[in-house]
Amino acid sequence: MLADCEAQLSERTLEALIALVRQYTGIAMNERKSVLLQGRLGPRLRALAIPSYEQYMALVRAGGAEVQVFIDMVTTNDTLFFRTPAVWDYIERDFLPHWDAARCLRIWSAAAATGEEAYSLAMLCEQFLQRHPGFRYQIVGTDISATALEAARAGQYEGRSVERFQASHPQLLARYCRRSGTRITVNPELKQHVQFGSHNLLRKLDAAPFDLVMLRNVLIYFDETNQRQVLEQVQRQMAPGARLVLGEQESITRLGTALQYQQAHIYHRDAA
């Protein structure tokens, strides 16, 4: 009865759904997301034989397994290998060459989605390791979506993600991935350095400080209040002198944080 469900998505119901999304994810939606919410939630209501969005929201509010299902459905997990070349040029040609290879480098891929960013980082770290045999690194990828994390841990990709990767970095794909038809699988040598876990960016992360934090294309989904809260949590996890990398459409200068602008996409925490 998907059509019936859609007919019942009144303005009041839509407002309640938007509030529920914000409650569980921090994401700020508006009435223009009506079609998106219906497209993602409608099939779930039909699968559960629930006749109205109000009853489904009651099910989510009751807690239990449906909360994670709801979170997975309303969050967007779109990422690619080596997305935004300027960011990867900075890491490969500026950040890593100036890193003290005697120190273990800790990197946080926040909102890691299906893992392409974390594995891209691991590939560049492996390249650096070849030139500096004593180098050690650890990468932590986190996301609020259990479905995305499952895909990240599997490290198997196909479609647009692989096509873009093949076009931009064919040598790295051949070196660090195993191909089977149209699908690739990340090699174990990368996986041993990458750990994935569930985390809500509005909450504290129980981890040691990081030297590099990737927080790309995330803040655009939050209102200013939650942007500030996310950045407060991120700053607590940054070691002195650490770098923060943002997305193409994001800037935190107006938010008045303690982080200093370094160049496009890049901010740093004072070393003191």
Residues 119 and 11 both lie in one domain: no
Q: Residues 95, 46: one domain?
A: no
Query: For this structure, is 270 an active site residue?
Result: no
126 shares a domain with 11: no
Q: Phi first, then psi: give them for residue 11, nearest 5 degrees.
A: -60, -40
Query: Do residue 203 and residue 109 come from a single domain?
Result: yes
Q: Which of 30, 53, 74 is the last residue of a domain?
A: 74
User: What's the pLDDT band for 8 if we cut at 50, 70, 90?
Assistant: low
Together in a domain, 216 and 263: yes
Catalytic pick from 40, 44, 46, 164?
A: 40
Query: Range of 8's domain?
Result: 2-74
Residues 10 and 136 in one domain: no
Number of domains, the chain? 2
Question: pLDDT of 130-159, one tens digit each?
Answer: 999 999 999 999 999 999 999 999 999 999
Structure tokens belonging to residue 257:
């944080």
| One domain for residues 92 and 6 | no
What is the distance between the alpha carbons of residues 189 and 207, in angstroms, rounded to a whole number? 23
- Say which residues have a Cβ less than 8 Å from residue 98's Cβ, sequence separation at least 6: none
What global pTM score does this model have? 0.89
CATH number at residue 19: 1.10.155.10
Q: Count H helices, E strands: the chain?
A: 12, 10
Catalytic (active site) residue 40:
yes
Considering the domain architecture, whether residues 68 and 98 belong to the same structural domain is answered as no
Q: What is the pLDDT of residue 257?
A: 87
Do 116 and 47 belong to one domain?
no
Q: Which residue has the tokens 């045999």?
A: 133
Do 35 and 103 lie in one domain? The reply is no
pLDDT of residue 232: 94
pLDDT at res. 1: 42
> What are 22-61's pLDDT values in tens digits?
999 999 888 878 888 999 999 999 999 999 999 999 999 9
Which among 143, 211, 243, 269 is annotated as catalytic? 143
Contacts 24+ apart (CB under 8 A), 5-13: 5/38, 5/41, 5/42, 5/45, 5/46, 5/51, 5/52, 5/53, 6/38, 6/42, 8/52, 8/53, 8/54, 9/34, 9/37, 9/38, 9/53, 13/53, 13/54
Compute the average pLDDT of residues 223-250. 94
Looking at the fold, whether 192 and 248 belong to one and the same domain comes out as yes
Over residues 234-249, the mean pLDDT reads: 95
Give pLDDT tens digits for 159-192. Answer: 999 999 999 999 999 999 999 999 999 999 999 9
The residue among 53, 74, 95 that closes a domain is: 74
